[in-house]
Amino acid sequence: MTIKVGDKVPSAKFQVVNEGGMGDTVAASDFFAGKKVVLFALPGAYTPTCSKQHLPGFVAKAAQFGEKGIDVVACLSVNDSFVMAAWGSDQGAFGKVAMLADGNADFTKAVGLGVDLSGFGLGYRSQRYAMVVEDGVVTTLDVEEGGKFEVSSCDAVLKKV
């Protein structure tokens, strides 16, 4: 079942990555508790659209989210913590965007937003989407159609918050 607006985020776990590659494993329900969070998810670190458009947009405009009352901007991908740390460092994300490693796709599966990209050699990954979560409850959710990059872009999300 796919998560929808009005649902609470599941307690599935992911890692909040630090620049060294490790981080704290936390339950999503705890990560989102008491905060207003923009979460954007994408198929994979270092992939073309993710590296050239998706993450860079949020890094460049992170402060604008803070001005609109967002406590945390977070990027989630089905990659291990070391890959997310290296990618976050390469992109200048640390201190602006929280990098979340969903290495086993636990969160991705729990919210029902996974996709099998085995045909492209990528295995099971996250769909591209953006959601706003307020104190653990999804208030907006925009999932991209396959191959698109529109509704989950930084500019599209900024217009909604």
Read off φ and ψ for residue 55, nearest 5 degrees: -60, -45
Q: Is 50 part of the annotated catalytic residue set?
A: yes
- For 88-155, give the DSSP string: HHHHT-TTTSEEEE-TT-HHHHHTT-EEE-GGGT--EEEPPEEEEEETTEEEEEEEPPTT--STTSHH
Q: Which member of 37, 50, 75, 117 is catalytic?
A: 50
Q: Which residues are bridge partners to 24 per DSSP? A: 16
Angle at 4 (CA atoms; ends 156, 14), nearest 5 degrees? 85
For the chain, first and last CA: distance in Å?
26
Nearest to 29 by CA among 139, 103, 135: 135
Q: Which residues are catalytic?
A: 50
